[in-house]
Every structure is written in structure tokens, then in C-alpha cells.
A = this chain, B = another copy of it.
Amino acid sequence: MNKPVVGVDLGGTNIKLGLISPDGEVLERNSTETRAERGPEAVAGRICDAVLGLLARAGLDRRAVAGVGIGSPGTIDLQAGVVTFSPNLPGWHDVPLRRLVEEGTELGCVLDNDANAAALAESWVGAGRGKSSLILLTLGTGIGGGIVLDGRIWHGGNGVAGEIGHMSIDPDGPECGCGNRGCLEAFASATGMVRRMKEAIEKGEKTSLADQAETLTARRIHEAAEAGDQAARRTVQMTGRYLGIGVSNLMHILNPEVIAFSGGMTGAGRMLMDPLLEEADWRTMEAPRRDVKICFAELPEDAGIIGAARCLMLA
């Protein structure tokens, strides 16, 4: 394939698009608001307009591109090209997004989950460049993930592999939104970190955040930690340690070449990564630990559009 591909990153607030070269370069960009409240058909129409606008801006005819790859939040029926359900897109149930975009653009289209697309981009031209296996963990309100093996997304039997945030690391740990207990997400997502900081405040630990229990965010905790707040610092570090347990489990099970982290919480940098590595190191046997690169993702802005385009290239 030597034609560029349009990659679409559908988010709850914005739609980002890029014209992606066959070697993963972003040749042209476009973005527009999602306006999810107007419903799936309207959103599909906005995607089509933005795709055609991108081609116009690049001075390209429809025949000059190989097609459109779309990364969407939520669960995807890959064969059917349907978004079956998406918490971030209210009212979306069984939306035939692939068909809607194919009809609206007269271009071939593939659809995949946005976290999978991001993992594929990191594997292809980001943190996993030159390697064949990578696991991406996206740290945000929840913990999402994508698994790339032999350069391709591993989807699993029902297309829902990569729910890394819902591995349980403590049988009697805190309840998770999913119904399970002790999920990695319940400990180490932004939500989990805020919960643990609140617990520290309730226990009476000395902290500059004592009167902010109700308005805490992961970013505030990190800022307080940077400013010397020891309780906040311990909370960030424990988040790293919990992530280290998850990383150790992934190395033992899958022995990937790269494990990368993306999402807002990675802003905590070494304060998060150092305890993560320390915990992963002592917990993991020599052979599955050796040679594994554990790092932050390299394409925070463009992983979605590049990965979506790559999905089409591999289809």
C-alpha cells in the first residue's frame, strides 16, 4: 500500500483527523467538535464532512487515499463495523458507524476501539518502534489498554481483550465500578488515586489538601506532591507501585517487548515511574523482565489518528 490513509480519532468532545502516510507520518490534520448530543447519524455526518474537508485541504482526490480508519471509544463489533455501546457517546447503541462513513465518503473504512488504535500506533511508530509486541495502558478516569502482538492488535474471542484495568490485584480490595473487587483501576486510575488521597485526609494525615477532599483531582494531588506535600507524594508513589504490580503480571503472562503508559496521569513523570519500576523489578523473574522496555508513550497527541489509519493498512 503506497497511498496515504485518513485516520479518525472519535472522542466524546472532539473528532481529530489526520492524513497518515504509509510510513506513519502525519501529512495533514483536521478537527471538529463531536456534538454527540445530536445523535449518531449527525456525528457520522460530521466525520464525513471532516474527512472530505481534510482531502480538499491536502488537494487530494478521493482515489488518492486508501481509505479511512476510525478509532471509537466503547465496545466494537469488528466484523460488523458497529459501535455496540460507548459510555462516552450518550445514546450510542449498535451504531453502524463503518457503513455510515463509507456511504458518506465513498471510501473503504475500518473501525476499531480507540485504545487498541493508540496501542497499534505506539507499536508501529512510537515507543514500540522496531519491536513486535507492545501493551499500552491508558491512565485516566479508568485504565484502558491495548495489546499488540506480532505487530497486530490482539482482539480476543469477543473483541474485548485489553481490559487491563480490570485485572484484580487484591481479592478483597476496593470495589470497582465493574462489580469486581481490587481491580488495578480501582487502585491506580485517577479515580483510584483520588479515593486513596481522600482516605489519607480522613485518616488525619497532614496535607495541604486537607480542605479539598471534595474537589480533588489527580493533577492537584500531583501538584501538591511537587510542592512538597508528603501525603500527596506517598499517594502518587503508591499509584506507581500498584501499576508496577499490574506490569509485573503482564510480563509474566505475555512477556511483551514494550509496556507503555499514556493519559493525563503520566504528567507525574518520574514520581510515578520510579516506584512503578522498582515494584515491577522485584516482583518479576529475570527472564520475563529482561529486555522489556517500560516507558511513557511517545505519541500522546497523534496515537489515535495514526493508529486508526494503521488499522486500515493492516485490514
Copies in the complex: 2
Which of B156, B157, B171, B178 touches A169 (beta carbons < 8 Å)?
A: B171
A227 within 8 A of B: no
Q: CB < 8 Å: which of B133, B155, B157, B245 contacts A171?
A: B245
User: Which residues A147-199 have CB closer than 8 A to chain B?
Assistant: 147, 149, 154-164, 166-171, 178-181
A287 — which chain B residues lie within 8 A by C-beta? 75, 158, 160
With A168-B248, A249-B249, A283-B180 as contacts: A255 and B157 at CB distance below 8 Å: yes
Is there contact, CB below 8 Å, between A253 and B147? yes
Q: How many residues of A contact B (CB 8 A)?
A: 48
- Tell me if A291 and B157 are in contact (CB < 8 A): yes
Partner of A254, one of B154, B181, B284: B154
Which parts of A45-93 form the interface with B (CB within 8 Å)? Answer: 75
A253 touching B285, Cβ below 8 Å? no
Question: Which B residues are in CB contact (< 8 Å) with A255?
Answer: 155-163
Q: Is A268 an interface residue (CB 8 A)?
A: no
Q: A284 and B180 in contact (CB under 8 A), knowing A167-B249, A170-B171, A253-B253?
A: yes
How many angstroms between the C-alpha atoms of A171 and B257 in the bound complex?
24
A252 touches B163 (CB 8 A): yes
A27 touches B (CB below 8 Å): no
Q: In the complex, which residues of chain B have a beta carbon less than 8 angstroms from the beta carbon of A285?
A: 160, 163, 166, 178-180
Measured between C-beta atoms, what is the minimum distance from A1 to chain B in Å? 22
Is B147 in contact with A288, judged by CB distance below 8 angstroms? no
Interface residues of A in 9-49 (CB under 8 A from B): none
A167 to chain B, nearest CB (A): 4
What is the chain B residue whose CB lies nearest that of A257? B157
Which chain B residue has the least Cβ–Cβ distance from A85? B287
Closest to A163 in B: B252
Contact partners of A290 in chain B: CB under 8 A: 158
CB contacts (< 8 Å) of A282 on chain B: these are: 179-180
User: For residue A178, which residue of chain B has the nearest CB?
Assistant: B285
Separation of A291 and B162 alpha carbons in the complex (Å): 17
Q: List 30 A-B contacts (CB under 8 A).
A: A132-B157, A145-B253, A147-B253, A155-B255, A156-B254, A156-B255, A156-B288, A157-B291, A157-B292, A158-B255, A158-B287, A158-B288, A158-B290, A161-B253, A161-B254, A161-B255, A162-B255, A164-B252, A166-B285, A167-B252, A167-B253, A168-B169, A168-B283, A169-B169, A170-B171, A171-B245, A179-B283, A180-B283, A181-B283, A254-B254
